[in-house]
Amino acid sequence: MPSTRHSIDAPDDAPRLDVLVATDLDISRNQAATLIAGGHVLVAGRREKPSYRARAGEQITVEIPPAPGREVLGEDIPLVVAYEDDDLLVVDKPAGMVVHPAPGNWTGTLVNALKGRGASLSEAADEGREGIVHRLDKETSGLLLVAKSDRAHRGLGAALQARQIVRRYAALSWGHLTEERMTIEKPIARDPRDRKRMAVVSTGRPARTDLTRLARFDSADLLRAHLFTGRTHQIRVHLASIGHPVVGDDTYGGGGGRKLMGLPLRRHFLHAAWLIFRHPVTGETIDLRSPLPEELHRALVVAAGPDVSIAETAVPNPLDFFGFYRVDT
């Protein structure tokens, strides 16, 4: 496996270099110091000591060498496949699954599972990320595109850049939006005070999320979130920025009422429920829909209260009930 490259823009009041690298890559400080000592960390193209404090705006480049003998192997992990042909497939990813291997998650990932199926995968991305067109957060479930051929990967990548792939998410947010429809257009980057989080930052990358309220419950809103960009944690950061974090989201302030909604530990209410794209080879329009997973369905029953009958026996997919798949809502 070849090495991978990671870039960090030093924030204001940056901590020591070893601390900054460790926090950003989610590795130990000793591991970061080893990378620095081995010449794998450069600050504006030069080597520095672990104690160095980067100036704001300096770019830190980290070459992450492969672990000795670390090969991404196929594993026999069941997957729900929503669509598949010779060029691509769409996986309905469960919550709790990491998309591709990285330090701390070398096994049990979606890529391990895909390799375990024995099917071909595009090699347009780095090794260990074969076929991956876009990602979902670990605890976000739902539809995810995978390229099996290089031509499909190129076409899907171009469509993603041109915002021609429609991605709509079901989200339950705390409190109530001030409007039935809302657009949040705020730039996103690493949180300068906590490198494990993302945040709205004036110098970040542009990000736009359109929100439509489908239902208003006593303590939360059921939303349809339409992504126009695909920044890391975008929906979660945008909702938190207006004071309505995703229910169950510990990272961005929405985890406090998890028990109230009956959500499992480390699960937030965010599901990639609707994916529409033009097939990069045939030109056919592919329209795929994923029902709410059981644990989110149960949480929605609690949120809706006794006056709204959406139990699984009565309503197989409450997203249909609330008009999630109707574009006129």
Amino acid 1: pLDDT: 46
Amino acid 146: pLDDT: 97
Whether residues 181 and 312 share a domain: the answer is: yes
Whether residues 52 and 126 share a domain: the answer is: no
Q: What is the pTM of this model?
A: 0.81
Amino acid 71: pLDDT: 75
Judge contact between 99 and 111, C-beta under 8 A: yes
Tell whether 326 is covered by a domain: no
Amino acid 67: pLDDT: 55
Is 137 part of the annotated catalytic residue set?
yes
Whether residues 15 and 138 share a domain: the answer is: no
Q: State whether residue 241 is helix, strand or coil.
A: helix
Q: How many domains does the chain have?
A: 3
d(CA 127, CA 123): 7
pLDDT along the chain (329 residues), means of 10: 70 85 79 89 92 89 70 90 97 95 81 92 79 94 97 95 96 97 95 85 93 97 96 96 97 89 92 98 97 95 88 83 85
Domain, as residue range, for 136: 81-161
Judge contact between 176 and 150, C-beta under 8 A: no
**DSSP sequence for 133-177:** -S---TT-EEEEEEESSHHHHHHHHHHHHTT-SEEEEEEEEES--
d(CA 274, CA 143): 7
Amino acid 139: pLDDT: 95
Q: For residue 134, what is the domain's CATH number?
A: 3.30.2350.10
Q: Which of 87, 137, 221, 249 is catalytic?
A: 137
Whether residues 35 and 54 share a domain: the answer is: yes
Amino acid 231: pLDDT: 92
Whether residues 194 and 288 share a domain: the answer is: yes
Whether residues 154 and 112 share a domain: the answer is: yes
Amino acid 248: pLDDT: 96
Burial 262-299 (b: 16+ CB within 10 A, else e): ebeeebbbbbbbbbbbebbeeeeebebbbbbbebbbbb
Whether residues 172 and 215 share a domain: the answer is: yes
Tell whether 70 is covered by a domain: no
